[in-house]
Amino acid sequence: MRHRALGRCPICGGSLEVTKLSCPRCDTSIGGRFETCKFCQMTDEQRDFAVTFVRCRGNIKEVERELGISYPTVRGRLDTVIQALGFPVECDGEDEAEIAGRRREVLDSLAKGELSADEAVKLLKQKM
């Protein structure tokens, strides 16, 4: 039975090093100090989210449905994955829920016939 390799120390949370690699086919072993990949250092929740995000081809609405979570939660989890990979997360100071609310308002106005499709597209591009 195989177990998932740990990427973080269960005691202190520090990064773990791989010190031995083995080939199950020919029984060759190699020892040393090897870096683990950034995905290996993610928490299980971060890795599972990344898998779901990729399976949904980056479609946030589909991720929302699949995981049963809100848009701001999807964005928050995506931000933690981005940070875990070592990339900065830009924060424009605007709350994601506010942006989503403004999008809904524009789409509601479109549905009521208060805006044309072109006007709605223009507003969505400006506000988002």
User: Average pLDDT for residues 97-109, to the nearest whole number?
Assistant: 78
Q: What residue spans define the domains of the chain?
A: 1-38, 42-91, 92-128
What is the chain's percent helix, strand, coil content, to nearest 5?
50, 10, 40
Residues 52-92: pLDDT tens digits?
999 999 999 999 999 999 888 898 899 999 998 989 887 65
Distance CA 81, CA 54 (A): 12
Distance CA 126, CA 128 (A): 6
Longest dimension (CA), the chain: 71
CB neighbours of residue 56 within 10 Å = 17
User: Average pLDDT for residues 99-121, to the nearest whole number?
Assistant: 82
HSE at residue 124, side-chain half, CA atoms within 13 A, is 16
Determine the pLDDT at residue 27.
94
Determine the pLDDT at residue 94.
57
Q: Which residues pair with 21 in a beta bridge?
A: 30
Residues 1-54: pLDDT tens digits?
777 777 778 888 888 888 999 999 999 999 999 888 888 888 889 999 999 999
pLDDT tops 60 at residue 93: no
Q: With CA atoms as reference, report the closest residue to 110 among 94, 122, 97.
A: 122
Determine the pLDDT at residue 51.
96
